[in-house]
A and B are shown apart, each in its own frame.
Chain A
């Protein structure tokens, strides 16, 4: 999937990795069969940049979010794995807000990846509410606590 991330960077795609892969990149050893990308829901130019980046691997053009939530999640099977584009979702803030809180992690191969920020990721996991999401949330709460402790001045 590093190849996809590099192509997104080359084509200046606006994206944030969310879901299980974002939690894995934050440090929890877990499997996930797909990569979830949060993208701005009605940025037509960005949709075209994604299509340019992934070329024939997308067997159908991406659609903007419809007025009644149509096409909120768009799934493709590619040579790099299953890619899901999310144009919104439970617990996700507006993309522009999420983008401001983005966190950069690195893949196991060192490729930098833009991910949903820790607080937003935690909220999305709590709201999704499936058992695996709640376990991810417990891990993220621990990370958040450690980050807060690291920010506190040394009292010794």
Chain B
């Protein structure tokens, strides 16, 4: 295994020279209306449902 395969080595490397990586856009997120949550548990449960729906449509498609 190369040293660069290890996550701790990667974290060391990134922390030594922090750079902002360009953020791709998620092109195929299902449409939804506003949501209001009273707790992180509620929000995380909803997000899991959203991600499951995304996965059922072939997974996330990232674009520039």
Contact = CB atoms under 8 A, between A and B. Distances in A.
B is a partner of A: yes
Contact of A60 (B7, B34, B43): B34
A59 B15 contact: no
Nearest to B42: A73
Interface of B: 7-8, 11-12, 14-26, 29, 31-40, 42-43, 60, 62
Contacts of B12: 142
Contact of A31 (B14, B15, B24, B39): B24
A33 B36 contact: no
A135 B29 CA distance: 25
Contact of A27 (B7, B18, B40): B18
Contact of B19 (A27, A58, A66): A27
A28 interface: yes
A138 B11 contact: yes
23 contacts: A27-B15, A28-B18, A29-B19, A32-B23, A58-B34, A63-B36, A66-B38, A72-B37, A72-B40, A73-B37, A73-B40, A73-B42, A74-B36, A74-B37, A75-B35, A77-B34, A81-B25, A105-B20, A108-B21, A142-B11, A142-B12, A143-B15, A146-B16
A143 to B, nearest CB: 5
